[in-house]
Amino acid sequence: MKVNKIIAIKLMLSLALVFGFASCSKSSSSKGGSAATGWKINDKKGGFQLNTKYKKQAPAPGLVLVEGGTFTMGKVQDDVMHDWNNTPNQQHVQSFYMDETEVTNAMYAEYLYWIKTVFPPTEENYKNIYEGALLDTLVWRNRLGYNETMTNNYLRHPAYANYPVVGVNWIQATEFAKWRTDRVNEAILEKQGYLKKDAKINDVSAESTFSTETYLNAPTETFGGNSDVVLKGKNGKAKPIKTKGSKGQPGTTKEPTNIYAQRSSGLINPEYRLPTEAEWEYAAASDVGNREYNNYKGQKKYPWKGQYTRSGKRQVRGDQLANFKQGKGDYGGIAGWSDDGADITNAVKSYPPNDFGLYDMAGNVAEWVADVYRPIVDDEANDFNYYRGNVYTKNKIGEDGKIELVKSDNIKYDTVSNGRIMARNFPGQIAQVPVDEKETYLRQNFSTSDNRNYRDGDKQSTRYFDFGAEEDEATTKKGADGKRMYDSPMNNVSTDSLGTMVRKFDKSNKRTTLVNDDSRVFKGGSWRDRAYWLDPAQRRYYPQDLATDYIGFRCAMSRVGPKSDKKKRARN
């Protein structure tokens, strides 16, 4: 018995020592303190704040996750043109989110409704905002075809509500993405109690709007500085911090800190944007469906498996897998049993999704992507998240040292090549200026604000460049054109003394290309295209300020955090 008691006592002492060492080994971070300093995190009195309960990025409205990886970009199955427009190169794309479908007429009509409500076109200050956002519905017209039904009904009629939007130029697509970012984040902050409920409907006006970047940089300026809308703390519960006095000293009262949602809160989504060409092609190809361990079992010709445009599944054998032009004068097949069920565009989700769960990555409408067009992809310069088109800007700081907001009297407008006037920014947003030497000095990764011509379009690449000559002589002996890489037309739009718009076409017969810094890539086949263009690697370009009846778009969003939601395990 004594032996058993001794053993029991020794066991209890051993356990006590184990628990004692374990408690001593616990870091202060496990108790809510900083692993760096031991200071308390998320103290109600102030100090460093961090969302320690953050789990993962939740998909924003309309988006699905596209897990990143490596793929061969530009590998077309057919190249009947032999135009050197594509060269296969290995690229890696980081995980991102993409719209499950193309942006529809209903989605864009909501955008137009918001703009018309907030910035009434009847007011002189705002009329160009709404008019600049309007789609070009005349793209449906044809000199020898009757298409007035689509001209008058395609955007607005509920019969086409779930059809992909067309008549949208690249600039309008990017502005829609910015607007969508603000509306989604505005709804999130309202739901979380940082904005007054229903303020987005009842309190919004031209001088009282929500901008994500304004809220992050100057929250008190959001909604025109209306403190009744922008709440202090969650549900407006942030109260002044009071401290007790001691030894005859009076107590103090100070305003609470960290009372607005920030990046560190984990509530605010990254921006909606157009996908890059690499992202779009990777998502469309969806080679993940052909994956075997860390290799691909062959290259898919289309976003689906197989080399044919018809389904081989027993239940739906023979059905077309995309909406495209079958042949001359054949857009949908014979009446009574259509090849693809559509003569023009078709409602989204009318055809099966690819292996990423994305619909219409081939056919229906082609889609704008973010990139400036060049005949080649410079994989020697970069093979990770490739993108040509970076133009870096920064927040404009006023004379008072604070950020400068856009107001109704300082909206910037651009007149594009066809004479349309488009707003560069909206009231409530932060004015932007190009980055300068303060950001670029001695940097190795970038040296200028505008990087569209990096390694392409520099002076050494121009056809007039005279190596070794004086700079002024080399670039001026042939006039202003000597400085341009691409000898594209230079149409001019100006305003005369009476305010009348004057359009001057470039009538020169010496132009050699249509490519310039305003040419944007669009990907994928459309209802007007043959099957040749359904290959995800095919690429074309179009001026960013013009629209067609076969180009639409979808949005993307970068993923923050881990590459995937699932743990990776070896396949046995």
Bigger pLDDT: 6 or 330? 330
pLDDT for position 356: 94
Task: Determine the Cα–Cα distance for residues 147 and 511; give it in Å rounded to an integer.
Answer: 34
298 pLDDT above the threshold of 80: no
349 pLDDT above the threshold of 50: yes
pLDDT for position 460: 55
pLDDT for position 301: 78
> What's the first-to-final CA gap in the chain, in angstroms?
54
In terms of DSSP bridges, do strands 366-372 and 519-523 run parallel, antiparallel, or are they unpaired? antiparallel
Neighbour tally for 242: CB within 10 Å: 9
Q: What is the pLDDT of residues 473-499, one digit of tens each?
A: 444 444 444 556 677 888 888 777 777
The model's pTM: 0.88
pLDDT for position 508: 85
Q: What is the pLDDT of residues 422-471, one digit of tens each?
A: 998 899 999 999 999 999 999 999 999 999 988 886 565 565 555 555 54
47 pLDDT above the threshold of 90: no
| CA–centroid distance for 447 within its chain | 24
pLDDT-derived band at 161 (thresholds 50, 70, 90) equals very high
pLDDT for position 358: 96
- Lowest average pLDDT, out of 105-119, 133-147, 504-518, goes to 504-518
117 pLDDT above the threshold of 90: yes
383 pLDDT above the threshold of 70: yes
In terms of DSSP bridges, do strands 366-372 and 551-552 run parallel, antiparallel, or are they unpaired? parallel
- Lowest average pLDDT, out of 65-74, 125-134, 212-221, 309-318, goes to 309-318
Out of 148-162, 241-255, 443-457, 512-526, the most confident range is: 148-162
- Residue the block writes with tokens 């042939």: 478
pLDDT-derived band at 287 (thresholds 50, 70, 90) equals confident
Average pLDDT rounded to a whole number, residues 500-507: 82
Average pLDDT rounded to a whole number, residues 29-50: 79
Q: What angle do CA 351, 528, 386 make, to 5 degrees?
A: 75
Task: Determine the Cα–Cα distance for residues 199 and 211; give it in Å rounded to an integer.
Answer: 13
Residue 291, beta-bridge partner list: 296
83 pLDDT above the threshold of 60: yes
Number of Cα atoms under 13 Å in the Cβ half of residue 67: 12
50 pLDDT above the threshold of 90: no
Determine contact, residues 215/222, Cβ cutoff 8 Å. yes
pLDDT for position 9: 60
19 pLDDT above the threshold of 70: no
Neighbour tally for 276: CB within 10 Å: 21
pLDDT for position 32: 64
Q: What is the pLDDT of residues 54-63, one digit of tens each?
A: 888 988 999 9
Q: Structure tokens of 508?
A: 């020169």
21 pLDDT above the threshold of 60: no
Domain boundaries, the chain: 68-85+95-192+268-384+519-563, 196-243+251-266, 390-450
pLDDT for position 256: 74
Bigger pLDDT: 78 or 133? 133
pLDDT-derived band at 197 (thresholds 50, 70, 90) equals very high
Reported in sequence order, the residue ranges of 373-526 that DSSP labels E, i.e. its strands, are: 393-395, 413-415, 421-423, 432-434, 492-495, 501-504, 519-523
Quote the mean pLDDT of the chain. 85
Bigger pLDDT: 179 or 503? 179
pLDDT for position 472: 45
Bigger pLDDT: 514 or 107? 107
Bigger pLDDT: 141 or 322? 141
Task: Determine the Cα–Cα distance for residues 504 and 509; give it in Å rounded to an integer.
Answer: 15
Per-position DSSP letters for 419-458, written without gaps between them: S-EEES--TTSBPEEE--HHHHTT-SS--SSB-TTTTSSS
Percent of the chain with pLDDT over 70: 86
Fold for 68-85+95-192+268-384+519-563, please state it: paralog of FGE (formylglycine-generating enzyme) (3.90.1580)
246 pLDDT above the threshold of 90: no
pLDDT-derived band at 257 (thresholds 50, 70, 90) equals confident
